[in-house]
Chains A and B, each alone.
Chain A
Amino acid sequence: MRSAFSKALVEAAQNDKRVLLLTGDHGYALFDEFRRSCPDQYINAGIAEQNMVGVAAGLAKAGFRPVVYGLSAFVPVRVLEQIKIDVCYEKLPVIFTGDGAGLVYSTLGTSHQSFEDIACLRAVPHIDILSPCDAHELTACMRSAFAQAGPVYMRMGKADLGAVHEALPDLECGKLLRVLDGDHPVTLVATGSMVKAAQTLGRELGASVWSAPWIKPLDTTQLSSIAAGTRAIITLEEHSVVGGLGGAVLEALAEAGPRPVLRVGIGEQFSLTCGSHAHAMREHRIDLESVRQRIAPFVAKWQAA
């Protein structure tokens, strides 16, 4: 997924000299190819994220297409106010990329773990939120982001889980992508790193699985029609259950035609111990085995209904 990101960036920058990459002194090795191919379009803004976002806003106003790269713990969360006031209020075409989203930095602890980023940005007008699950979705997301006239945030989580899609999907604003077709009365909707787990669970249950690369806006019409064809929905995300994909699905369906929704994600808890990403996922009970156990009663209830 990271090489797809680098490739998409280089492609965009080579095609459009207005594209400028700003990084807050992050992205070691990730930008080697970019720096080699487009040295004049690379700006290391130093360890000063607030200034970096303001500079990106100024560059966008002056006609450039800035891409701001950071860890998702810092971009968007640390710089939320700059994104809101300097960028979104004027609908400036700035692309924010938040790397290492979720529990990726499991060993570094709370400062680098990021499961509030979607929730923070969902309340900010004019910015779209993208959350690709594999290299194909990421490439499609990057193309969509550059095609947007306004601000975009792309969340990049655990990147080495392998492909979900077999080819580059057609991405449409706000649309979910079907990953698996099933006839189980419960449907799974997942985003980012959790789509793989949803795919596995969907196969076990014979359930339909949808990936949500475009979390804001969400296409309520499509979501309603998915809901109409199922008894209940389970959402899965490596993000807080508050304000993320699960929250967005619930809010949309509450108005459009409610279905029972079980939100699988991170709860009211910071990581307490240190360990691998797999360990952190277990600690927060969003690893595959924990999720299997967590959803079992909900699945049984709506299967029997």
Chain B
Amino acid sequence: MKPLFQPSALRRTVVEMAYAGNAVHLGCAFSIVELVSALYARQMRYDLSDPDDPGRDYLVLSKGHGVMAQYACLHQLGWIERQDIDGYFHDGSRLKGLSDAHVPGCEVTSGSLGHGLSVGVGLALGASRRKAGQNCYVIVGDGEMNEGPVWEGMLFAAHAKLDNLMVIVDANGFQAMGTTDEVMALGSLRAKFSAFDFDVLEVDGHDLAAISAAMDQLMTTKNGKPKALVAKTVKGKGVSYMENINAWHYSRLNAVQYEQALRELGGA
């Protein structure tokens, strides 16, 4: 039976990891928690006993700095161990601060932004050529969409008619140095994806039921168009003092903040 991927439990794991490793990027992980939860709990096909099952659906975390949210899911799947969580960033440990393809369940090595969509397009193209019925989900950040290859990948995906590909934008409205509007205004992502010939839906990125309904609607529409889900999210979602505070891209938890975060998430 699949684990439950309950969002507050996932966030607690993120907080524990970040505190154990004195790690940053908490805000970036929190904004995608419901997205990865929906993917692992309902949307994706995978073999619990084999992360490399050739028939799996692919999850490409292109915004690799959100990886603690995925690690929390991988821990629930049993693909990474409790000691990986408690020993995060300790000397000789195996989980890095950015998505890494050597970790079971991580498809790409990202963090240098703008790589994942292209690899995801290749995976989706390979799957469609094999006619194996596999889907590929790529999570990109809205800030990441500053990168040119993202738009190259969108052109290619539409040209290759990859309706087994879904680009999920974590649209939290922030990037490292400010809001996306301040740094490099994106305008309407919905309009941009539509113009690139994607089927696109917008959704509240923290409403699990709405996310799943939107994903279902997109992926059951087999019309030769790649899919885009623009998820409106809150950077730092789930912990009061982090929500929409961009400093939690870079800040580290102190002991007081750690205890408060766990309390708010229903832990300690």
Contact = CB atoms under 8 A, between A and B. Distances in A.
Interface of A: 45-46, 48, 50-64, 81-82, 85-86, 89-90
A146 to B, nearest CB: 18
A61 B123 contact: yes
A61 B119 contact: yes
Given A63-B54, A90-B101, A55 B112 contact: no
Interface in B110-154: 110, 112, 114-127, 129-130, 148-149, 152-153
Contacts of B112: 81, 85
A46 B156 CA distance: 8
Given A48-B156, A62-B127, A54 B101 contact: no
Contacts of A55: 118-119, 121-122, 125, 153, 156
A51 B108 CA distance: 14
Contacts of B129: 64
B121 A54 contact: yes
Given A61-B122, A63-B130, A64-B126, 11 more contacts: A46-B152, A50-B148, A51-B117, A51-B118, A51-B155, A52-B118, A55-B121, A55-B153, A56-B122, A57-B118, A90-B102
B170 interface: no
Given A45-B156, A89-B109, A58 B124 contact: yes
Determine chain A's interface SS by DSSP, over half rule.
Answer: helix
B159 interface: yes
Given A50-B152, A51-B156, A86 B126 contact: no
Interface of B: 54, 101-102, 107-110, 112, 114-127, 129-130, 148-149, 152-153, 155-156, 159
Contacts of A60: 122
Chain A CB within 10 A, most for which of B120, B126, B127: B126
A46 B155 contact: yes
A110 to B, nearest CB: 21
B108 A86 contact: yes
B73 to A, nearest CB: 20
A57 B122 CA distance: 7
Nearest to A51: B152
A50 B149 contact: yes
A58 B149 contact: no
Contacts of A62: 122-123, 125-127, 130
A58 B123 contact: yes
Nearest to B110: A85
A54 B117 contact: yes
B118 A58 contact: yes
Contacts of B123: 58-59, 61-62
A63 B129 CA distance: 11
A54 B109 contact: no
Given A86-B108, A89-B101, A59 B152 contact: no
Given A50-B148, A59-B126, A61-B107, A86 B118 contact: yes
B91 to A, nearest CB: 21
Chain A CB within 10 A, most for which of B101, B110, B155: B101
